[in-house]
């Protein structure tokens, strides 16, 4: 019995060692995985060879109450929406007398090519009008957001651009928190697309423009996935092991304490069993 309990303590100590090492190596709580999350293929309006077509749009009528818009949350119907727009209640400027805001998201053909990269995926025309057909806008303070999904979930550097005055204009862009999705705050609506570093018409002019994200990062107009990493000491590349130099010492100390305790318990058990078998005689 004593040997079994000692072995149990050793196993318990080894388990605690593993938990401690994992906890110290990853300061943030590990994610909870509930099954395998499928990665839905990107749907193109005009699919390249071997890619999937069937890109879809979305529409919604948003009621106006007291001269203010209600919550706007419209997304394309894919499992992982490829285009979305969000506006908090009152976020869209509504003209007097308007009763409904009509929101539409539609994939459309591009009217031109950006000069700082390549369009990744579809161009989405996002229109926000009132029931009289008047185009609406939003103040910058309302932080109305457009979210677009890249064709590659691993895409880490990109910018959302809006087609305006006959050219693609880059917008301040950040990652949305979902793999391969990017977000921008807008005040006007129209045609939006994700632009990734590539061989655009002017990209070969300088070395900086051929370096992924170099010109955008220099202007402060893009935030990459690595800039917003929630774990500051995470491995810099897939497959890199975390530095456990600060983990092994306390972990081994815990294991040593557990093993010592197991030895003490085992000796006490043997001692009490010996005393029971050979009682001490008193003179």
The two counts, helices (H) then strands (E), for the chain are 4, 14
Q: Are 106 and 154 in contact (CB under 8 A)?
A: no
Count CB neighbours of 216 within 10 A. 23
Using one digit for the tens of pLDDT, what is the confidence trace for 222-272? 333 333 333 233 333 444 444 444 444 444 444 544 455 555 445 555 555
Confidence class for position 198, pLDDT limits 50, 70, 90? confident
Using one digit for the tens of pLDDT, what is the confidence trace for 46-65? 999 999 999 999 999 999 99
- Residue 207 CB-density burial (10 A; 0-12 exposed, 13-18 middle, 19+ buried): exposed
Of residues 100 and 28, more confidence is placed in 100
Q: What is the DSSP letter of 80?
A: S
CATH topology of domain 55-223: Chondroitinase Ac; Chain A, domain 3 (2.60.220)
Question: Residue 133 pLDDT more than 90?
Answer: yes
pLDDT, residue 181, reads 96
Residue 170 has, within 13 A of its CA and on its CB side, a CA count of 22
Gap between the Cα atoms of 28 and 246, Å rounded: 16
| DSSP state letters, 104-154 | EEEEE--SS--SSSEEEEEEEEEEEEETT-PBP---GGG-EEEEEE-SSTT
- Residue 266 CB-density burial (10 A; 0-12 exposed, 13-18 middle, 19+ buried): middle
Question: Residue 15 pLDDT more than 80?
Answer: no
Q: Where are the domains of the chain?
A: 2-23+250-275, 55-223
Helix axis angle, 245-277 to 2-25, nearest 10°: 170
Q: Are 136 and 188 in contact (CB under 8 A)?
A: no
pLDDT, residue 225, reads 34
Instruction: Using alpha carbons, list the distances in angstroms from residue 46 to 43, 54, 79, 171.
Output: 9, 8, 20, 25
């Amino acid at each position: 019995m004593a040997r079994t309990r000692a072995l149990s303590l050793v196993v318990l100590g080894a388990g605690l060692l593993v938990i401690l090492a994992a906890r110290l190596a990853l300061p943030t709580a590990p994610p909870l995985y509930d099954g395998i999350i499928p990665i839905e293929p990107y749907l193109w309006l005009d699919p390249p060879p071997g890619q999937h077509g069937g890109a879809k749009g979305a529409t919604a009528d948003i009621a106006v109450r007291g001269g203010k818009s209600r919550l706007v949350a419209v997304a394309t119907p894919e499992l992982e929406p490829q285009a979305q727009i969000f506006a908090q209640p009152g976020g869209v400027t509504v003209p007097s007398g308007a009763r409904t805001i009509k929101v539409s998201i539609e994939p459309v053909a591009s009217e031109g090519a950006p000069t700082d990269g390549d369009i990744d995926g579809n161009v989405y025309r996002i229109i926000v009008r009132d029931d009289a057909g008047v185009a609406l806008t939003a103040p910058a303070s309302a932080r109305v957001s457009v979210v677009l999904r890249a064709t590659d979930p691993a895409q880490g550097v990109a910018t959302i651009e809006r087609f305006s005055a006959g050219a693609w204009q880059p917008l301040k862009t950040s990652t949305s928190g979902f793999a391969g999705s990017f977000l921008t705050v807008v005040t006007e609506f129209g045609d939006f697309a994700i632009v990734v570093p590539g061989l655009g018409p002017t990209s070969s002019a300088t070395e900086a423009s051929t370096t992924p994200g170099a010109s955008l990062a220099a202007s402060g107009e893009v935030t990459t996935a690595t800039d917003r990493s929630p774990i500051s000491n995470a491995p810099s590349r897939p497959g890199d092991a975390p530095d456990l130099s600060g983990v092994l010492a306390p972990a081994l100390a815990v294991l040593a304490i557990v093993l010592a305790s197991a030895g003490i318990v085992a000796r006490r058990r043997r001692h009490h069993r010996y005393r029971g078998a050979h009682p001490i005689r008193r003179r």
